[in-house]
Structure 1
Amino acid sequence: MTTTSTFSFTHRPLVPFAHDYVHGDSEPWHQHNCAQLLHSLSGVVRVDTAAGCWVVPPGRGVWLPAGTRHAIRITGSVAARTLFIDPLARADLPASCQIVQISSLLRELIVASFALPESYAPGSREERIYELILDEIRAMPILPFHLPEPMSAPLRQLCEQISQAPGESWSSQQAATLTSMSERTLNRHFQQQTGLSYGEWVRRARLMEALLRLAQGQPVLRVALDLGYGSHSAFTAMFRRVMGVSPSDYFKEA
């Protein structure tokens, strides 16, 4: 069952909303009549949609277009700051789900939006802040924290097995055997259905699992070994290549 939340935008283009979650919280499948930008100040948020899984690391955000059916699961203590946005506020708002970088300016604008009145005069400071928020939303960089869901049943079953045991080797040869395909056919179908190569899908699945485990406070070495990395340094090198900093520094900064 899916519930629908309805927001009114008679006087302003967006409505800010603050909510703090505790570890293990969740929200069942639901949707909104407006677009949503969920910004996580701490902890990790997993968002499931029909198109796949989206993991929001601390300090980042997820964009959900109006009418997107989704469910939420919380890892760690999450301080969420959300903007519900009139889908007609701008003609070129993002049209698909995205994990996005939240700039320092946008973060401060989100904070400022909680003090803005619903009604304001044309040309006022309040109007300019609202418009600047919309400008910043259009410029948000997209981050690779989406795990797309393949369409065919054999590949979906394979992805479920990988998600349940991400620390196994999961070579393309092993995956091809499980799906009764050749390695070439497996890779072609993965690329066609997810936009990722099979190897990239597995690496991304491991990174997203790592984010969830690190947000729970698990030691970096334990996470590295559980996810099939031979050493702390090998895992840290992968994490730094994607995230720009080491795992310990990333969560310390967040």
Structure 2
Amino acid sequence: MTTTSTFSFTHRPLVPFAHDYAHGDSEPWHQHDCAQLLHSLSGVVRVDTASGCWVVPPGRGVWLPAGTPHSLRITGHVAARTLFIDPLARADLPATCQIVQISPLLRELILASLTLPESYLSGSRDERVYELILDEIRTLPALPFHLPEPQSEPLRGLCDRVRQNAGEGWSIGQAASVLGMSERTLNRHFQHQTGLSFREWVRRARLLEALDRLAQGQPVLRVALELGYGSHSAFTAMFRRVMGISPSDYFKND
């Protein structure tokens, strides 16, 4: 069952909200009648939607258009700072779910918005803060932390097996053998249904699993080996290539 939350935007275009979650917390399936930008200051948030899984690392955010059914799962201590946004506040707000980079400016604007009054004068600083937040949201760069879910049952079953055994090699030949089809046919269906090659989907699934485990405080070497990387350095190189920073530094101060 999916519940719907309703917000009033009589006096302002967005409603800021701060909430801290403990490790293991979750929220069941629900939706909002407004758009939502959930920004995580610390910890990792997993957001499930009908189109797949979205993982929000610390310092990033997830954009959810109005009316998107979703559930949340929390790993680590999560300090969430959320904006509930009137979908009519801007004509060109993002139309699809996406993990986004939160700039230092937007982060500070979100924190500042938590202290603003609900009503304000036209042309005031408070109004300019709200309007600048909306301007920043329109230019948020999307990040590859989405794990799309295929539509067909055979491919969904294969993806479940990969997630449950992320440390295996999972070559395209092995996956094709599991489904009893050729490698070319598997890749064609996978690309069509997810927008990713099977190899890229596996790589992304491992990264998202790594983020979840690292947020729990598991050692980098253990995560690397259990997810099929041959060494600490190989895993760190992959992590740095995608995240721009080593895993130990990334979670040092989350």
Q: TM-score, normalised by structure 2?
A: 0.99
The aligned counterpart of 2:42 is 42
CA offsets, 1:13-41, max 9 Å, x none? 00000000000000000000000000000
1:26 partnered with 2:26? yes
- Give distance in 2, aligned partners of 1:106 and 1:181: 48
Matches of 1:180 and 1:87, distance apart in 2: 46
Give the deviation of 1:253 after TM superposition: 4.5
SS in 1 for 2:252: helix
RMSD: 0.6
Alignment match, 1:124:
124
Match of 2:185 in 1: 185
What residue ranges of structure 2 are gaps of 5+ in the alignment?
A: none
Cα distance in 1 for partners of 2:117, 2:27 equals 29
- The runs of 4+ residues in structure 1 deviating greater than 6 Å are none
Equivalent residues in 2 for 1:99-178, closer than 5 Å: 99-178=99-178
SS of the aligned residue for 1:188 comes to helix
3-state SS of paired residue (1:252) = coil
Matching of residues 38-117 of structure 1 within 5 Å: 38-117=38-117
Q: How many residues align?
A: 254
Work out the CA distance in 2 between the residues paired with 1:253 and 1:192: 39
> What TM-score do you get using the length of structure 1 for normalisation?
0.99
Counterpart of 1:130, as a letter, is Y
Shift of the alpha carbon at 1:244?
A: 0.5
Paired-residue identity, %:
83
What secondary structure, in the 3-state scheme, does the structure 2 residue paired with 1:29 have? Answer: strand
Letter matched to residue 231 of structure 1? S
Quick check: 1:5 aligned with 2:12? no
